[in-house]
């Protein structure tokens, strides 16, 4: 039987008339079985031009096995995105290598997770050559981690921005494109900020006079508007108005996002918590876990036409804090800010401002009406 995010059983919603077997039709496919373990220490050094990370597996520094319940796919996804955010920030002073190794020590070893777990669990003897084998199999490149992290971070930011559009919250989409220190985010929303200029009469006349056909005229006027389109800066601090609504292209943008999600191989895996075999995605790295979690989120989103009703906005989806931009899983469908004191203060300030704006609007409306009745 399938489980929801809170690991409660959900009744089968299998549609007997369909030929497509989705997650809801085959119980258990949505589960992800993986075995977290972490090394207590790493070293890193340059090998030619590659920066390599070496895990330490020695007596006194035995790998640990955190409980899988304490390290869900959702939590790994969120914490990888927040790691990316810190690494990419221009304010961050800690070298990226240190941040990555700290993440690995706090969470789990990132690569070849199934293989190393198997090596560690079958009568493992840390005083033997087996420990050397584990150390060797655990080596990974910082560059590879950075590349995997950047790809994931970009897709997640795009996902969160697209989610916002559905609820007329354009802020994240509006601010999506930026050059960070390492990761350059997608620029899919940039074109919606531009306004197309009116073509001056004399330019139009000139194009028409020198074009050989209507098609050429059209091409050249389009070239003109493309090269002369203006980027309108927002009018106020909280003004995130696109000139064209990207929501109109939602399906197209969404397909773009789905293109970035890698394919998964499925196979039977032994789930030690249930003592059963589950049909699960093949997992090699923490990034596979994160991608799979994101894919599952997307596959569980309701159809577009059911989503605009506020009450159907599912709980437990990923958002960025409106103030600090940190990724989090929302506890209620109204949550927009993280719990930090500063962000809660910002939340109250915004609420007050919205109230004042509304009140000012109401007052001027009242005055207008009063004036009208006097006339
Ligand atoms: Zn925050």
How close is the Cα of 232 to the center of ligand 1, in Å? 28
How close is the Cα of 21 to the center of ligand 1, in Å? 39
How close is the Cα of 338 to the center of ligand 1, in Å? 4
- At residue 323, the pLDDT reads 87
Q: Which two tokens stand for residue 16?
A: 């007997």
In the chain, domain spans = 42-161+262-309
- At residue 85, the pLDDT reads 93
Q: Which two tokens stand for residue 255?
A: 């397909």
Mean pLDDT for 352-361 is 76
How close is the Cα of 41 to the center of ligand 1, in Å? 31
How close is the Cα of 323 to the center of ligand 1, in Å? 5
Q: Find, among 328, 325, 318, the residue nearest to 297 by Cα.
A: 318
- Is 37:116 a contact under the CB 8 Å cutoff? yes
Mean pLDDT for 72-79 is 89
d(CA 84, CA 320): 13
> Is the per-residue pLDDT at 373 higher than 70?
no
- Which segment of 54-68, 93-107, 269-283 scores lowest on mean pLDDT? 269-283
Give per-residue pLDDT as tens, 12-49: 554 444 444 444 444 334 567 788 899 999 998 877 78
How close is the Cα of 328 to the center of ligand 1, in Å? 9
How close is the Cα of 289 to the center of ligand 1, in Å? 25
Listed as own residue / partner, the contacts of 249-255 with beta carbons closer than 8 Å and 24 or more positions apart are 250/162, 250/165, 250/166, 250/304, 251/304, 253/162, 253/188, 254/162
How close is the Cα of 85 to the center of ligand 1, in Å? 13
Give per-residue pLDDT as tens, 245-272: 888 888 888 899 999 999 888 888 777 7
């Amino acid at each position: 039987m399938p489980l929801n995010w809170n690991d409660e059983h959900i009744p089968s919603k299998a549609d007997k008339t369909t030929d497509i077997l989705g997650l809801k039709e085959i119980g258990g496919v949505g589960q992800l079985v993986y075995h977290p373990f972490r090394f207590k220490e790493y070293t890193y050094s340059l090998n030619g031009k590659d920066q390599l990370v070496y895990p330490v597996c020695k007596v006194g520094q035995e790998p640990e096995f955190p409980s899988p319940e304490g390290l869900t796919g959702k939590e790994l996804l969120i914490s990888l995105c927040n790691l990316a955010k810190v690494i990419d920030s221009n304010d961050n002073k800690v070298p990226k290598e240190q941040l990555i190794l700290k993440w690995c020590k706090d969470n789990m070893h990132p690569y070849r997770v199934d293989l190393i777990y198997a090596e560690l669990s079958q009568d493992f003897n840390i005083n033997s050559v087996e420990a050397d084998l584990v150390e060797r199999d655990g080596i990974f490149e910082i560059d590879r981690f950075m590349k995997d992290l950047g790809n994931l971070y970009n897709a997640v930011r795009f996902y969160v921005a697209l989610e916002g559009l559905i609820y007329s919250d354009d802020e994240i989409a509006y601010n999506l494109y930026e050059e960070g220190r390492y990761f350059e985010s997608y620029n899919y929303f940039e074109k919606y900020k531009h306004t197309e200029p009116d073509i001056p009469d004399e330019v139009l006349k000139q194009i028409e006079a020198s074009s050989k056909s209507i098609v050429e005229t059209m091409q050249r006027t389009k070239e003109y508007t493309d090269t002369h389109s203006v980027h309108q800066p927002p009018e106020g601090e909280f003004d995130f108005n696109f000139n064209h609504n990207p929501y109109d292209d939602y399906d197209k943008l969404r397909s773009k996002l789905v293109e970035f999600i890698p394919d998964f191989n499925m196979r039977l895996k032994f789930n030690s918590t249930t003592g059963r075999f589950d049909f699960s995605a093949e997992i090699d790295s923490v990034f596979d876990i994160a991608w799979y979690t994101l894919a599952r989120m997307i596959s569980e989103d309701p159809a577009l036409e059911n989503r605009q009703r506020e009450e159907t906005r599912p709980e437990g989806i990923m958002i960025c804090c409106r103030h600090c931009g940190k990724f989090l899983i929302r506890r209620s469908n109204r949550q927009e800010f993280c719990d930090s004191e500063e962000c809660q203060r910002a939340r109250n300030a915004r609420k007050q401002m919205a109230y004042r704006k509304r009140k000012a609007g109401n007052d001027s409306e009242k005055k207008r009406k009063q004036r009208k009745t006097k006339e």
